[in-house]
Amino acid sequence: MVRFKHRYLLCEVVSDDPRCRLSLDDRVLGGLVRDTIARVHGTFGSAACSIGFAVRYLNAYTGIVLLRCRKEFYQLVWSALPFITYLENKGHRYPCFLNTLHVGGEREAIQKSVTRSCFLEEESGEEELSDGGGEEAAEAME
């Protein structure tokens, strides 16, 4: 039996308009990525990435998207993501872009990456709050 190896691309939908993220749908986003791959890489890219490509996770509130594709062709998907400049859903067109956060071979590694990045964001937020009295703290140290 042959095991198919996959790559997971963890992406973030970045947009100024909050309605863009709330209107996310996995089928619409998957179709948009497929169309972009066909536009950038042609028929070969479209055929190579159509097998095994799927939107595995989508969170509309945080804008986090997990894409799965075949290991041999993940670079085709990855290189097409910067060409996504808008999200079209229900007749509305929202300007946005996809920011790739992590590329990995296992879902567990992706989950660890998300947890680690959330933990680091919380720590940096606490440090910013604790450094609020910068001048007063500097005078007190002298």
pLDDT digits (tens, 9 = 90+) for 88-97: 877 888 888 8
pLDDT digits (tens, 9 = 90+) for 73-121: 888 999 999 999 888 877 888 888 888 988 988 888 888 877 776 666 6
Token pair for 36:
């972009």
User: What are the distances in angstroms from CA 100 to CA 8, 39, 97, 111, 132?
Assistant: 11, 20, 10, 14, 32
Query: Which pTM does this prediction carry?
Result: 0.76
Q: Let me know: does 101 contact 113? Beta carbons within 8 Å.
A: yes
Question: In sequence order, what DSSP letters do the residues of 1-24 get, joined into one string?
Answer: -PPPPEEEEEEEEE-S-HHHHHT-
64 by Cβ neighbours in 10 Å (0-12 / 13-18 / 19+) ranks as: middle
User: Domains in the chain, ordered, with CATH?
Assistant: 6-105 (3.30.70.3250)
How far is the C-alpha of 112 from the C-alpha of 119, rounded, in Å? 10
pLDDT digits (tens, 9 = 90+) for 5-60: 889 999 888 888 877 777 788 898 899 999 999 999 999 988 988 888 999 988 88
